Every structure is written in C-alpha cells, then in structure tokens.
Amino acid sequence: MPASLCGTWDMISNVNLQGYMIALGISPHLRNIALKLKMKKVIEQRGDQFIIKTTSTFRNYTVSFRVGQEFEEFTRGLDNKNVKSLVKWKGNKMVCEQTGEKKDRGWAHWIEDDKLHLELYCEGEICNQVFKKKVKQ
Ligand code: YOG
C-alpha cells in the first residue's frame, strides 16, 4: 500500500512549468502569471473517490475520480480542453493519462522522503513539482 497522498501540501519547487505550459498552448500573459504562483495541493479520499484541489491566489482547479474508472475532464481555467482521464496505481505512483488533442499528456503523484511529488507531462515536456506537508496551525 503506497504512502497516503492525502493532506494539505505547499509547493517548494517547480521545474519547467514554462515548458509544460508552452506544450499546452497557454498564452504568454497567462504563463507569466502562473510562473509566479506558489500552488497548494489539497488531496482527500472519501471511500474510493479521490479529490485533488490545486489552489493559488489566482485560480483554483479541482478534479475528482475513482482509480481505474475513466472519466471526462474539462481543464477549466488551465488550457480549457476536454480530455478522457484514467487514474491508475503503478507501483507507488498514482498515474493519470489524459487522452485528447495533446499527445502523451498526464501526471503522476508519489511520496518520497515525506514530500509529495508531481510530474506533469505533455508532448515531451515535463514539469516537476515538489510539495511539503503543511504544518498544522
Ligand atoms: O494537477 O493538473 O495534481 O488536477 C498546473 C498549472 C494557472 C492558470 C495546475 C492556475 C497548469 C494558467 C494544475 C494554477 C498551467 C496556466 C492553479 C496541475 C495551465 C495554465 C490552478 C494539475 C493534477 C495533479 C490534478
């Protein structure tokens, strides 16, 4: 059983978000805004349903799904695309394939050294983000 992804997580590093956004076709203006954001992740599990919220001072994005069940995703406020998404466990990684207009698109989450890792990929561009667990206050 992989370490739990659940919790509230603060971004501590963000490598090649620019390349990933260019691959998605995000405008230069939005890319400049997005590059300055310190995103948070809130990951919850209710029964067999997962909810992943990405939050920032600019926009928020929420997706919910069941592992192994394909679903329709509209990436509202991101690149505004319809994709068919499917999340699976591959070893200790939660992997999502997002099939649509863009080739080789998806993401993977895993835990390493108490940190939450996220790889976002699209058409050969890979963005790597790391989050640390938010200290309770
Ligand atoms: O996460 O798909 O955790 O959905 C990555 C940036 C910026 C808008 C965010 C809003 C995508 C302008 C989603 C940022 C860049 C730039 C806060 C990551 C696109 C547009 C929402 C993601 C998965 C896995 C779950």
Q: Is residue 87 part of a domain?
A: yes
CA of 78 to the centre of ligand 1 (A): 6
Q: Is the ipTM of this complex over 0.95?
A: yes
Q: pLDDT confidence of 81, banded at 50, 70, 90?
A: very high
Q: Is residue 106 part of a domain?
A: yes
CA of 1 to the centre of ligand 1 (A): 27
CA of 130 to the centre of ligand 1 (A): 14
How many domains does the structure of the chain reveal? 1
Is pLDDT above 70 for 131? Answer: yes
| Closest to 41 (Cα-Cα) out of 8, 83, 89, 3 | 8
38-76 pLDDT, tens digit each: 999 999 999 999 999 999 999 999 999 999 999 999 999
Q: Is residue 92 part of a domain?
A: yes
Is pLDDT above 60 for 27? Answer: yes
Q: Is residue 126 part of a domain?
A: yes
pLDDT at 136: 75
Is pLDDT above 90 for 118? Answer: yes
CATH of residue 127's domain is: 2.40.128.20
Query: Containing domain of residue 104, as a range?
Result: 7-132
Q: What is the pTM of this model?
A: 0.96
Q: Is residue 137 part of a domain?
A: no
Directed axis angle between helix 17-24 and helix 28-35, to 10°? 150
Q: What CA–CA distances, in Å, run from 99 to 8, 71, 85, 109?
A: 28, 10, 6, 18
Q: Is residue 42 part of a domain?
A: yes
CB-ligand 1 contact for 119 (6 Å cutoff): no
CB-ligand 1 contact for 63 (6 Å cutoff): yes
Q: Is residue 2 part of a domain?
A: no
CB-ligand 1 contact for 122 (6 Å cutoff): no
Q: Is residue 1 part of a domain?
A: no
Q: pLDDT confidence of 3, banded at 50, 70, 90?
A: confident
